């Protein structure tokens, strides 16, 4: 038995595994329940009593040597695996799984159209003050939009330390005010962002939604410029042949003011809950900048004129994807969101 152990010891010391599979076969051959070491321990029972101590020591030494060889050679494969899984940020990435949110898709598409017309993207804070949200936009003190039913106020009591109300912006027009305050002419911006209003949540309204507003101020800007800009946007975004109409309206910050409708592409003009069964959907308000808002930002209304417009991103997305419930954009339902994976 002594010679057999020595022979096996020489064999295992010369072993070198070239793969994890080969190393596993080596372990099975020697250390499994039916392996060589098990067979030797079975033979050990027949060893003469005076030889058992020595043979037992040699047998245990052989078993430990085999286990050490396995442990040592296992390291090379662990090192190789770690190298393969190391993150190399310089390597090109695989195609990303998942999808963009439909509101992000629509916002990006709208921005691209206006960028091609020379507009630049401007952003501002969501937590604003009364001046930039209301006062600078010609809202009188008793205007309904200042009521708590419409606006989320953070601080409603002016003091020496807080000279004006602090609130969540109700529109991105505040970004337009900040752009006008720079007095760098001409101004041609779009202001996308999230806005907040204290409204009941329904299929057509939400307390959180997204707007994209536009502002163009320069010399000799007319209502005809506004109409052509918006007509171009509608034809490019919704397709040739989309009907457009302008209706007289009122906004504190524009005069002349209008609301723009397009033909409802959800019902084809036959009537649905989105178009209130009229066949038309309002997508934005617009108009010529009131001289008072130009004066508030130290812009001479005798020298400069401008136009402004604003649209809801959710409303545009509902028309584009024929979605009849605005709440779906905020519910994080994967069954809904996965539909935009290739958009």
- pLDDT tens digits, 257-270: 999 999 887 777 77
Structure tokens at 180: 């006008």
Tell me the C-alpha distance between 137 and 253, whole Å.
5
Q: Where are the domains of the chain?
A: 2-83, 102-340
Structure tokens at 339: 């539909």
Cβ contact 158:179 at 8 Å: no
pTM exceeding the 0.75 threshold for the entire prediction: no
What is the pLDDT, as a whole number, of residue 83?
A: 47
Q: How far is CA 208 from CA 151, 197, 198, in A?
A: 11, 7, 9
Strand residue runs (E) in 197-263: 208-218, 244-248, 254-263
pLDDT digits (tens, 9 = 90+) for 207-225: 999 999 999 999 999 999 9
pLDDT digits (tens, 9 = 90+) for 88-145: 778 776 666 667 899 999 999 999 999 999 999 999 999 999 999 999 999 888 877 7
CA atoms within 13 A on the CB side of 231: 11
Burial 173-208, CB ≥16 within 10 A → b, else e:
bbbbbbbbeeeeeebbbbbbbebbbeeeeeebebee
Tell me the C-alpha distance between 25 and 302, whole Å.
91
Say which CATH topology domain 102-340 has. BirA Bifunctional Protein; domain 2 (3.30.930)
């Amino acid at each position: 038995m002594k010679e057999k152990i020595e022979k096996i010891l020489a064999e295992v010391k010369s072993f070198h595994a070239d793969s994890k599979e080969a190393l596993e076969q080596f372990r099975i051959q020697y250390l499994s329940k039916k392996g060589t070491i098990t067979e030797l321990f079975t033979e050990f029972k027949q060893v003469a009593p005076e030889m058992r101590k020595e043979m037992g020591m040699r047998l245990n030494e052989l078993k430990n040597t085999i286990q050490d060889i396995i442990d040592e050679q296992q390291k090379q494969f662990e090192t190789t695996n770690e190298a393969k899984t190391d993150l190399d940020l310089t390597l090109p990435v695989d195609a990303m799984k998942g999808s963009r949110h439909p509101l992000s898709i629509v916002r990006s598409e709208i921005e691209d159209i206006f960028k091609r017309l020379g507009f630049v993207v401007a952003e501002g804070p969501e937590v604003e003050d009364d001046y930039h949200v209301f006062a600078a936009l010609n809202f009188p003190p008793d205007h309904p939009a200042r009521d708590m039913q419409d606006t989320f106020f953070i601080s409603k009591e002016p003091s020496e330390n807080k000279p004006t109300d602090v609130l969540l912006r109700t529109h991105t027009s505040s970004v337009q005010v900040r752009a006008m305050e720079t007095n760098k002419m001409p101004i041609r911006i779009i202001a996308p962002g999230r806005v907040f209003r204290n409204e009941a949540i329904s299929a057509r309204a939400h307390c959180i939604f997204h707007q994209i507003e536009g502002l163009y101020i320069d010399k000799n800007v007319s209502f005809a410029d506004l109409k052509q800009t918006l007509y171009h946007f509608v034809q490019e975004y919704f397709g040739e042949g989309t009907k457009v109409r302008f209706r007289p309206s009122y906004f504190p910050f524009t005069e002349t003011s209008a609301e723009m409708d397009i033909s409802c592409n959800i019902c084809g003009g036959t009537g649905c809950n989105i178009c209130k069964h009229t066949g038309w959907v309002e997508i934005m308000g617009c108009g010529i900048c009131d001289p008072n808002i130009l004066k508030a930002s130290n812009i001479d209304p005798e020298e400069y004129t401008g136009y402004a417009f604003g649209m809801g991103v959710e409303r545009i997305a509902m028309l584009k994807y024929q979605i009849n419930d605005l709440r779906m954009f905020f519910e994080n339902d994967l069954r809904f969101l996965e539909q935009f994976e290739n958009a």
